[in-house]
Amino acid sequence: MKKLGKYSIGLGDRFGHQGSAQLKAIMEASSRGIEITPVWNKSNREHTIIGTKPSDVRLEADTVTKNAGYKKPYFADADHINLDNVEKFIESSDFFTIDVASYIGKKTEDKEIREFMSGVKKYAGKLSVPGTKLSFSTPDTLIHKIAEKYLFAAIKAWEIYRKIEKAKGKGNFVTEVSMDEVAHPQTPVELFFILNMLALENIPLQTIAPKFSGRFNKGVDYAGDTDQFSTEFEADLQIIDFAIKEFGLPENLKMSIHSGSDKFAIYPIIGSLIRKYDKGIHLKTAGTTWLEEVIGLAESGGEALLFAKDIYIKSLDKIDELTAPYSDVIDINVSSLPSKIIVSKWSAEEFTGALRHDQENEKYNLNMRQLVHVAYKLAAGKKDEYFRLLDANEKVISKCVYENIYNRHICRLFDIE
């Protein structure tokens, strides 16, 4: 059976050039005693915009691991797939992030809701998690609302899973269910009953990606009440542990922290709690690698800096088009974006200072960073030139990518000094 390691990281690499630098960060963590399973992930939307195929992700993962002599497990993730697009990922992928966000809130048949309600009577009234202080009021009306909101999505997750299983065979891939790209976070009580629904559908779930409170905006730090997040995350860990025992879910089921957000403010919280409860974690870094490519180009100077500036300047003209697909996960104050004229005159240091995620740098501009994060479509429109510049400035760029993954993410999450 394909089994995900206790700690794993989803390595988004939109243009498929940074696998070696990403793997270097994983291998450095291993040398420090932290074993992390690398998972190269790319969504259907990214493939469509860039003009790549799922087989390209598999080729990148196989090539960089072979070249590095990496003998440990690794995966290629069909990221955020659904019934409409799963087929194109089946051959190349061995990790499937089943995204049910679009199905949440759609009511299934009354008969199925009645059957579910009948099976969860023991949890009605009060839900207490043994060995913890967690206790929740769970009247029938609340459970019924949860069933109306999530049961249809669980059934769809099963349909997608069965389609994959029929083609690849049972146990030959890792299954994650994602529900993070929605308007409202799931409560620990909702998570408990969602896990029940997924268990009833016999989905061998290895990771679950709920939505948490606070803002996880693309490319920038977590914005929200960190104390509230800590309470919520700890409760979710305990709920998952209880659900594993209660519903017979896989013992290695773990939390997945999604979104293209950099989660620096909550990494110490997550790291402390997974160590406290001896739990695993799956982390997705998503499009931050693309941002490091732009930073690396700018740092290289010359025509590479001009290309990076051009991406930003053109993004100002196309801001509505670029941000529309990401409206729920960006929060850009347009008035705080530097103008075309100002950026055109910037030095490499000024440009990288604004874009690199260093909150101690007074030049850092989180609005600019979010806009460039979603502007990869512009580089995709000039791929030949972009790839030529990536190759010409590979040493600088790969250093940026490595330091981003290792220093800003891995070290903060796992408390490596």
Q: Tell me the H-state helices in 187-287.
A: 188-200, 226-247, 267-276
pLDDT digits 0-9 by tens, 235-245: 999 999 999 99
Least confident of 80-94, 200-214, 248-262, 374-388: 248-262
Secondary structure (3-state) at 39? strand
Amino acid identity at 231? T
CATH of the domain at 41: 3.20.20.70
Residue 408 has pLDDT above 70, yes or no: yes
Rounded distance between C-alpha atoms, residue 13 and residue 356, angstroms: 17
Same domain for 100 and 203? yes
Residue 286 has pLDDT above 80, yes or no: no
The answer as to whether 399 is a domain residue is: no
- pLDDT class of 55 with cuts at 50, 70, 90: very high
Q: What is the pLDDT of residue 1?
A: 86
DSSP code of residue 215: B
**Backbone torsion region of residue 44, taken as left when φ is above 0, otherwise alpha when ψ lies between -120 and 50, otherwise beta:** alpha
Tell the burial category of 257 from Cβ atoms under 10 Å away from its Cβ (0-12, 13-18, 19+). Answer: buried
Average pLDDT for residues 406-411, to the nearest whole number?
A: 96
Average pLDDT for residues 26-44, to the nearest whole number?
A: 97
135-138 and 125-128 strand pairing:
antiparallel
Q: H or E element: which one contains 394?
A: helix 394-403
How much of the chain exceeds pLDDT 90, in percent?
95
Q: What is the pLDDT of residue 297?
A: 98
Same domain for 305 and 245? no
Residue 23 has pLDDT above 80, yes or no: yes
Q: What is the pLDDT of residue 180?
A: 84
Residue 400 has pLDDT above 90, yes or no: yes
Bridge partners of 79?
A: 43
pLDDT digits 0-9 by tens, 180-221: 878 889 999 999 999 999 999 999 999 999 999 999 999 999
Same domain for 115 and 222? yes
Residue 279 has pLDDT above 70, yes or no: yes
The answer as to whether 400 is a domain residue is: no
Residue 260 has pLDDT above 90, yes or no: no
DSSP code of residue 408: I
Same domain for 298 and 278? no
In this structure, the number of other CB atoms found within 10 A of the CB of residue 260 comes to 23
Same domain for 178 and 310? no
Overall domain count for the chain: 2
Residue 148 has pLDDT above 90, yes or no: yes
Give the closest residue to 271 by CA, choosing from 409, 368, 160.
409
Same domain for 248 and 313? no
pLDDT digits 0-9 by tens, 88-99: 999 999 999 999
Rounded distance between C-alpha atoms, residue 263 and residue 257, angstroms: 9
Residue 287 has pLDDT above 80, yes or no: no
Angle at 249 between CA 147 and CA 197, to 5 degrees: 10
The answer as to whether 45 is a domain residue is: yes
Average pLDDT for residues 293-302, to the nearest whole number?
A: 98
Is the Cβ–Cβ distance between 298 and 185 less than 8 Å?
no
Give the closest residue to 277 by CA, choosing from 236, 326, 319.
236
Give the closest residue to 238 by CA, choosing from 130, 137, 368, 157.
130
Secondary structure (3-state) at 157? helix
Domain that holds residue 311: 294-393
- pLDDT class of 258 with cuts at 50, 70, 90: confident
In this structure, the number of other CB atoms found within 10 A of the CB of residue 396 comes to 17
- Four-residue CA torsion sign, 372, 313, 44, 1: negative
Q: What is the pLDDT of residue 147?
A: 98
- pLDDT class of 329 with cuts at 50, 70, 90: confident
Same domain for 202 and 225? yes
Is the Cβ–Cβ distance between 94 and 2 less than 8 Å?
yes
Please, what is the average pLDDT of the chain? 96
Q: H or E element: which one contains 174?
A: strand 174-178
Contacts of 245 (CB under 8 A, 6+ apart): none
Same domain for 369 and 282? no
Contacts of 92 (CB under 8 A, 6+ apart): 53, 54, 55, 57, 58, 76, 78
Question: DSSP labels for 236-263?
Answer: HHHHHHHHHHHHT--TT-EEEE-SS---
Same domain for 260 and 350? no
Same domain for 107 and 130? yes
The answer as to whether 346 is a domain residue is: yes
- pLDDT class of 18 with cuts at 50, 70, 90: very high
Same domain for 233 and 247? yes
How much of the chain exceeds pLDDT 70, in percent?
100
Residue 417 has pLDDT above 90, yes or no: no
Which tokens hold the place of 340? 């075309």
Read off φ and ψ for residue 193, nearest 5 degrees: -75, -30
Residues present in the chain in total = 417
The answer as to whether 264 is a domain residue is: yes
Q: What is the pLDDT of residue 259?
A: 66
Same domain for 240 and 382? no
Residue 328 has pLDDT above 90, yes or no: no
